[in-house]
Structure formats: C-alpha cells, structure tokens
Amino acid sequence: MNKIKKYIDSDSFFSTLFVFLALVVLPLLLSFNFFVPLKNAFYDFAMTDINYAKLRSPEKELADTNIVLIDISGISNSGLADLINIINSNSPRVIGIDKELVPDEDSSANVNLHKALNNVNRLVLSNKLIYNKKTGQFDSISQSGDLFRNKCIFGFTNQISISDKSHETVRSFITYTKVSLRAINSVNQDTIVHPFPVEVVLLFDPEKVQKLYERNNEEEIINFRGYFNKYFFIAGEQVLNREFNPNLFAGKILLLSYFDPFNSSPLFGYKYYSPLDSNYTGKSFPDMYGIEIHANVISMIINENYFNIVPSWLAIVFAFILCYFMIAAYKYIDEKYQTWYELLSLVIFVVISLLLLAANYYSYHLLRLDLNLNFTLFAIILASPIYEAYTKSIKPLTRRIFKLKNRGDYEINS
C-alpha cells in the first residue's frame, strides 16, 4: 500500500475524482426545465461530428449506384399506383416505400394502388413502433392501411432510439428490437423486428444482413456517405412523365418517400439532424431527410463499411488516467513555476486537445474506429478549474473543518 502511495499523488488523485464527480452531477443539475436546451446540447455532442463537418472531403466520397431515391411528395394514391407500375416494369431489385399508405376518397385509386403493390416481387413498407415509457414496451404501431399490406414485409423507421427524440442527431441505428404480444396482437410474444433499411437489404442480398448480425451489435454507428447527391435521385413527376433512362431502375434498390432537396420550404417533419451538418454545434434546422438516412444505412450494409467503437468502460478508464496525469502536470507547474502556471496549463490543454482531435480523425477514417472520446474531452476541460478549486478551496476548507472538530473533541475531553 505504501508503494502505491509513493507513486500516486493524493492531490492529483482526489482532484481527478472531483472531475468525475462533476461529470456525474452536472447532467443532474441540467435536468431543470430552465437548462433543457443546454442539457440537450450537452447530451447530443459527439466529438466524431467534427470529422464529418470540418475534416472530411465530401467530394472524395463516391456515389453508390445501387440506390435510387424517388420523391413522391404531393402524389396521390392514383399517381402512386401509376408510378409503381412504371418503375416495376423496369425490373428493380427491391422497392421500399417510407410512407404510411392510407385510403383516400377515390376508391378506384385505392384499388389500383393495391394492385400495383401486389405486382411488386420484393416490396418493403415502413412502419413506426410507438414506445410506452411507463410499461417499457412497444404498445402500438403506426403503419399503412390493411388494403395495402397484403404482399410485403415491414421495417420500422425509428431513426435515433426507442423514443425517437427529434432534437438529437442521428448517428446510429437500431439493428433489431423486440415487440411483445400485448403491443401488437398479430405478432407472437418477444418477436424480433428489424428496421426498414435492414429489411430492404435482406431482399437485395441476404448474405449482407447475415454479416451485419454476425457483428452481434444491437446498435450500429452509421458510416455516412453523404446527402442525396451521393445516390441517384429523381422526382416522382419525372417518372410519371417517363423522363428517365429505362436502365436507371434495373436491378437497383428504389426508395420512395417525401423528399424534395431543392424546395425552399423543406418538409421538416421528414428531416433529422445529421453529423454531416457543417454547424455541428448550435444546430437550428434539421439537414437530412429520413430517406437519405435509410440510403446511407443501406449503402453501409451492402458495402460492409462498418465502424467499431471503444467500449464505454475502457473509454472511462482512459479518461481517468489522462485526466490524472494532466492534473499532476498542473500541480508540478503550480509548485515549481507558479508565475507561468496560467500560460503553461493552457499550452498543455491545447496540445492534449489537438492530439485527441488527431487521434479521433485518423482512427475514424483510417481504422473506422470510434475512440469514444466524449468523456475524455469533458474531463480535460474540467481538469484545470477543478484542480484549482480543490487545492485552493476544497482541501484547505476540509483541513480547517477537521482541525476545528479535533479541537472541539480535545476541549470536551478536557
């Protein structure tokens, strides 16, 4: 024990403990309604966003020619039936529709859409699982009407997490989840359901999905290729007017949804925040349509461009060790070169931050490894002020309290 004390500085150790105590307490303090925007920004920050927003060159990313995005905004059931018949006649590999199909007033249009859907050999429709926080289960589902569900498979489109929080950035997707008998009567208890992009790839190339699940991850980081311009895209009206090359759809994955990238008034109800946004802090407007996210997930699975992530426990251990040595350096400077403390402590912080940024970038793009450095970044930010608070206030105050207590005990015993 004495040998351990010899090599561990108590001030540095306890200062590091206070840093991690602050990291635990701070989110609790931010739970008050007044701090909700700050709390959302705190939780939604990811160091890896800098890679996409500032350090990556989008023009170097090649387009994925396996995927075609088709905008069906403003198209009625009658028009959608015609559109599906046209694209289906061009031999696509899979058609995925991310839209809740509901009957309209034109019954003949509904019948035509029903027939058009039934003529598609490989069809995926979207649905959305509704999570009940009280029961901790999915207790309802939002999906297309019965008339349109005869010949297809379904995939859920919950983008971010179980609760689908609209203010969060989409960085990952759930590879599967469970639904119970009480949630959906037509599904057996504890049945596994899969997301929309995975079901699309399953029909396109089942072996790719097999490799996805061999990774044994319930959640996967999305390796974003880019926005709509990294895929083929076409407006639904162009399809209806047959203004396209007949070879555009053959053997491809066709994704149909509300999607209008050139509209000055975008459909915010169908958009999400993504790490590709150049404003990776202080985001104001969502930047990526849900169908674009599906395309990125599908492209990643097909090309097997997966990310791995450092386990949280290992990231915390690394953060603790680095924080300890930074504080030990601060203490040494404070004791030996007190007049230079502010400058040298700032230099240490900047150098360590740049090294972390470089490691984060190269591991992410060269190794496809997320170092999970968020905790480390917050720890080194708090290291200097908490060290000063500990040595200048907490430690002297604690000694004074114990000194007064010991003096009081002595007087009582006397």
Helices (H), 243-373: 290-303, 312-336, 341-366
Please, are residues 253 and 203 in contact by the beta-carbon 8 Å criterion? no
- Spacing of C-alpha 311 from chain mean position: 16
99 in the same domain as 85: yes
108 in the same domain as 82: yes
List phi, psi (to 5°) of 330: -60, -45
169 in the same domain as 69: yes
List phi, psi (to 5°) of 216: 60, 40
190 in the same domain as 88: yes
Say if strands 123-132 and 153-156 run parallel, antiparallel, or are unpaired.
Answer: parallel
What is the structure's pLDDT at 405?
53
Phi-psi region of 36 (alpha: psi -120 to 50; beta: other; left: phi over 0): alpha
Q: How far apart are CA 156 and CA 297, in angstroms?
A: 13
Question: b/e map of 35-69 (b: 16 or more CB within 10 Å)?
Answer: eeeebeeeebebbbbbbbbeebeeeeeeebebbbb
What is the structure's pLDDT at 133?
76
Report how many domains make up the chain: 2
143 in the same domain as 101: yes
Domain of residue 362 covers 2-52+308-411
340 in the same domain as 396: yes
87 in the same domain as 73: yes
Q: How far apart are CA 75 and CA 153, in angstroms?
A: 23
What is the structure's pLDDT at 82?
96
Q: 271, 303, 335: which is the final residue of a domain? A: 303
What is the structure's pLDDT at 347?
96
Q: How is residue 21 written in tokens?
A: 């105590």
- The tens-digit pLDDT sequence of the chain (414 residues) is 455 556 688 889 999 999 999 988 877 776 666 555 565 565 666 767 776 766 666 667 788 999 999 999 889 999 999 999 999 999 999 999 999 888 888 889 999 999 999 999 999 999 888 777 777 777 677 888 788 887 889 999 886 444 445 567 888 998 988 776 454 555 446 678 899 999 999 999 999 999 999 999 999 999 999 888 899 999 999 999 999 998 999 999 999 998 877 665 555 667 888 888 766 555 667 888 999 999 999 999 999 999 999 999 999 999 999 999 999 999 999 999 989 999 999 999 999 999 998 998 889 888 889 999 988 999 999 999 999 999 988 888 877 776 655 555 444 444
38 in the same domain as 124: no
**CA angle (31 as vertex; 28, 36 as ends), nearest 5:** 140
245 in the same domain as 341: no
Q: How is residue 262 written in tokens?
A: 């050139």
Name all contacts of 347-356 with Cβ < 8 Å and 24+ positions apart.
349/380, 349/381, 349/383, 349/384, 352/322, 352/326, 352/380, 353/377, 353/380, 356/47, 356/380
SS3 category, 251: coil
What is the structure's pLDDT at 316?
95
DSSP states along 217-246: -SEEE-----SGGGEEEEEHHHHHTT-S-G
**CA angle (22 as vertex; 348, 38 as ends), nearest 5:** 95
140 in the same domain as 71: yes
314 in the same domain as 172: no
